[in-house]
A and B are shown apart, each in its own frame.
Chain A
């Protein structure tokens, strides 16, 4: 037991480092306006939930969260579907110029987004997708593909080729070996990539600002950017909103983690 003390100490440190600023944000969200800029005291003298009330009553926040959820979920599904297919092809099948393809894919995330936003805007408008969630989904899927493809290709590479050779001898087509063998085997990788892609699209700001213009398609970061007035920044409201949108993500991760990762890895090791 004593041998584990340093371990727990380090763990506590890591957790405090990760969660500390967020906890501070949560505390701030409970402070009344007048206490925001006074320190000490650390904790609010007169805690209040008024910032949370404002977030939900003054802004169509449910609508906004559901917009973000739709965009992030669809992006994740699409990006993983397209990305894992591509990764499987690159990793386990014969593809012409594999390295060149990987490099090309990567090049998509080498330009600063601010440089491509204007021409992309013209593309989106030409396609008649302005102010739709679909525009965001298409763009986010595209820009998350490099990560999906690279991460998954690497993970797929670590699955032994023998399994697929054996499967082929058993008469398994490439597509079957993809979803019958590869997908279940790499559940942790899929899950990790999914989290990264989901959160990327949950938080993206620049494209969301440029391609949307009404509450019908507004996502969370743009909605939060709308909180401030010309000079005044309602920091308590922003803190409350950021806590509100972060908490469900954390719960989602906890829930998914238990069901998918831990369940499937134990199965995968046997396979």
Chain B
């Protein structure tokens, strides 16, 4: 027994020292930029090739990319722990669209507005540009863009002679009609679990009805437009019965799986699902169409803006090299490469007229109108606090635990309290 213990202890100690041996450091005389970002789905070698491209163009600089889980919660927590500790362990970081004002206000980001000329700014979609601008200065460069879209079953709509809906009323009508004739189909799937995605979903209804959250610094969340929109979300489940109750418990993936196995007529989701639907073993391959989200009155469609931005750590060891890297990563050729290789949607409008991109990714190019209309969630350092209040209130409303008016009023009181607290 004793010997065995000793052996185990020794072996583990040996392994320990092995693993603690100094790791190869940056080559002599080279500057190393550490790039921290969420997991990139798709072919990882493509990303590596893009990083190698930077090293080729910039002799003397190496890039080390360190990957974080794709989950935004885990990334946010990691960055907060590190930046609050003034960590210089990484130089360049990828950020969700809602963090930029928060990180900027906390003083964790370097002002990198000078990386974008006025002409370039004009070329970037208005939504992401607004999202990275705080107090008139630019704190990050938009890397790729995301926005909510409506997926529909092209084949079923054709069969039942319906056009892609432009208003929510049309969507309800079409869905109900098709559900009555096709057995076992769900009408419309969206994301109603208590999490950030629910806020994105809800905002799209609010905006599509002329509502909103903040007006300047004022909280206007409990306006009648919002109440009507929120009530409609609940009614999708209980009144029109086109959405199954399960929508209040799902995030993106479960809804994508349901639609992808051919069980739903409509789905609200991000553009990522498109490529998955086109895979050879997909049940809905070739049967899916995409449109901009419906609204309450025609022409008011609005999508919640998503996507990731690249910024420079205020405590970075090599800020100038880091800026160079940001510039490279968000440059038109690299954004084009990313779009072609990994399906990432560029933030630069001119690329949507690029001949190669239009030919290779007609789907992406076709989203131009949606991206033009994509609106950022309120660009304020308070946003992360506000959303913690909105998530449970919206969840209460879509689950029928509170009336929409009650939920919105309670949200307003809490939000006003928060906005008053920071001064």
Contact = CB atoms under 8 A, between A and B. Distances in A.
Do A and B assemble together? yes
Contacts of A58: 44
Nearest to B10: A77
23 contacts: A37-B254, A37-B258, A37-B261, A58-B44, A73-B11, A81-B9, A117-B81, A118-B84, A121-B82, A122-B85, A130-B89, A133-B19, A134-B19, A179-B2, A209-B74, A222-B69, A225-B74, A226-B70, A228-B39, A228-B69, A229-B40, A230-B41, A231-B252
Nearest to B281: A34
B5 interface: yes
Interface stretch (A21-29, A156-164, A165-173, A212-220): A212-220
B420 interface: no
Contact of A74 (B12, B67, B77, B308): B12
Contacts of B82: 121
Identify whether the interface residues of A are mostly helix, strand, loop, or mixed: helix
Interface in A210-247: 210, 213-214, 216-217, 222, 225-233, 235
Interface residues of B, number: 56
Given A74-B12, A226-B39, A233-B253, A121 B261 contact: no
Interface in B236-283: 252-254, 256-258, 260-261, 269-270, 272-273, 276, 279, 281-283
Nearest to B19: A133
Contacts of B39: 226-230
Contacts of A137: 16
B117 interface: no
Contacts of A74: 12-13, 15-16
A235 B1 CA distance: 42
A209 B87 CA distance: 15
A265 interface: no
A216 B74 CA distance: 20
Interface of B: 1-2, 5, 8-9, 11-13, 15-16, 19-20, 23, 36, 38-42, 44, 66-71, 74, 77-78, 80-82, 84-85, 87, 89-90, 146, 252-254, 256-258, 260-261, 269-270, 272-273, 276, 279, 281-283, 308
B20 A134 contact: yes
Nearest to B39: A226
A65 interface: no
Contacts of A130: 89
Contacts of B71: 225, 228
Interface string A54-78: 0000100000000100100110010
Contacts of B270: 231
Given A187-B1, A210-B81, A216 B19 contact: yes
A36 B308 CA distance: 29
Interface size class, chain A: 35 or more
A36 B85 CA distance: 42
Given A34-B283, A125-B85, A226-B69, A232 B276 contact: yes
A33 interface: yes
A33 B253 CA distance: 13
B12 A70 contact: yes
Interface string A10-26: 00000000000000000
Contacts of B67: 226
Given A34-B283, A210-B78, A225-B71, A125 B87 contact: yes
Contacts of B257: 36-37
Most chain A CB within a 10 A radius of its CB, from B81, B82, B87, B89: B81
A196 interface: no
B19 A32 contact: no
Nearest to A137: B16
Nearest to A184: B1
A180 B253 CA distance: 57
Contacts of B16: 70, 74, 133-134, 137
Contacts of B68: 226
Contacts of A227: 39
A85 interface: no
A213 B252 CA distance: 27
A121 B20 contact: no
A58 B19 CA distance: 22
